[in-house]
Structure 1
Amino acid sequence: MKYSLRQLEVFLATAYHENLTRAASSLAMSQSAASSALKDLESQFDVQLFDRVGKRLQLNELGQSIRPRAQALMEQAKGLETALARHQDIGHLKVGATLSIGNYLAVEIMARYMGEQDGARVELEVANTETIVRKVANFELDIGLIEGETRHPELDLLHWRDDELMVFCAPDHPWAGRPWLSDAELLEAQWIVREQGSGTRQHFEWAMQGLLPDLRIKLELQHTEAIKRAVEAGLGIGCLSEITLVDAFKRGSLVPLPVPQRNFHRRFYFALHRQKFRSAGIERWLELCRSSLSE
């Protein structure tokens, strides 16, 4: 074999950091050792994998084409190492979840996953859909749980569960208790909504087709709890996932505003890289997510 796993590690770290010094540091190597490993990999096949752009090392077309396969090979090698050594990190996963999913669904699934096997660990990153998709595509996360659809060419989207966005207001709002809101009232309202790049915002805009240019967006906030607090304070009306509003509706601190003429139905998805090795841990995580629907 003309290449080593260590050479592939250096190649992947350099592709991620776009800097050989930082790549070497991340692998606990000297810069000269990392540089030598990368040069040996390129010279053995008489190829160049990076373009030098100032101080950056940027993947060229060939480098981009082999990166997913190198990543998949490294994942399989790590899986084999784990199986042979029975290491305590056997169930280690890096999961990304959008805010609604991360705050209201993923933590319970994480607890069940970690409770099944000794030494299992889950690193949970909560961010908007755009960020999660980027990190799954860049192999920084093993799996993403997202609210918005994406057409990223390197990702597979698998349907997980259905969801519904709901419009809501404070209980002392003049519209509280209305049987429904008309489109004219939707245009009259002051809206407090999620930021651009979030799955919730993406579907809100899709549902408001025909009205969007004239909607009065008063505030754009990154966190669902901040939106709920702002609506409770009477600053406007909001639109969030049903799963984030259940407790507030039960307490009566917020009330729903039906908008039957608008389609607020949407789906949650698993986002997985097509070239990533799907370990037993990833498959078990998917099983636990799906089984949560029947409970």
Structure 2
Amino acid sequence: FFTWLLCPPVLDQGLALMVTLADSLSIYNLGGCESNVLLDLYKRFMAAPSEDDSGIIPVPGWLAGYVLSEETESPVDPNHSVLDPCCGSGEFLARAVRTIKHGLLERGEDAFDTLLLILDQVQGMDTQPLAVTIARTSYLLALGDLVQDFHPPVLLPVYLSGTSTPPMREPNPELGNAEPVYEFRGNESGEVFHIPENVALSPVMLDWLFDRYPNYLKGAHLRTRGEDPEDAIQAVLVALFNYLAAPKPRTPIPEPLSSFATGVMIETAESLIRLYLNQPTTIWLHILKNAPAPVHLAQRRFDLVVSRFLRNA
């Protein structure tokens, strides 16, 4: 989310800052840290609650542990799935990860299989970028040695998104296609984006496709240096169309998108390219990759749904 540090106006300063931070952190063994090591940072930098939310307070670590204990009749065991739809610093998620990890390894599961099972069973989201960043870090710290050894790329299931499901827009009957489309709107910019249902319901497809988009955004930006901007945009969209509509063997999404889904993704890509040419940042890609989380999380059942907030009586 914080890719603005790599935008051209502040690129040199951003790189210098990240190098300084990396040097400062290199003396610490984060692998031996408790997953709540960033809780104080979260409390310090998160905005104070509004008057309407004055009764809402973050749940401390000891209470998260109690909620996930057998005393509350909601224990987390290796077969349980856990969702925290407002995860904050990720305290519930991290404790669930540690508990499930211990249980799976105790019963003899392979380390990589354990990693995949946890990533499928423990998921969360939050609307605050800093909260999600800290929650993901806490999640990784809780995974511990499961992610320290070499392994194929995996998707960390903590999303920057809200708990309300975006409205589903039925396609125009004139298109002759019955595939549903989800609509997402920018809160401040007024931008409207559409994602076909088969993409919105697949976290892997969302991650893979939107991780390919930066190449096309940057390609359009480079082409505008020697071409008319409209010609550059259309040339890049043609290349993207060919990619989306073609089989992709040896990738997580080997099947081509339907012609309808491809058209919807091209429409979204055109909006993203125009935004990028106006301001070269990939923030919208990150937002759109995370925004459908309520859609695909709503399609499955979780054994336990927890929340980081308590409301004072």
- Tell me, yes or no, whether TM beats 0.5: no
Structure 1-normalised TM-score? 0.26
- Greater strand share, 1 or 2? 1
- Greater helix share, 1 or 2? 2
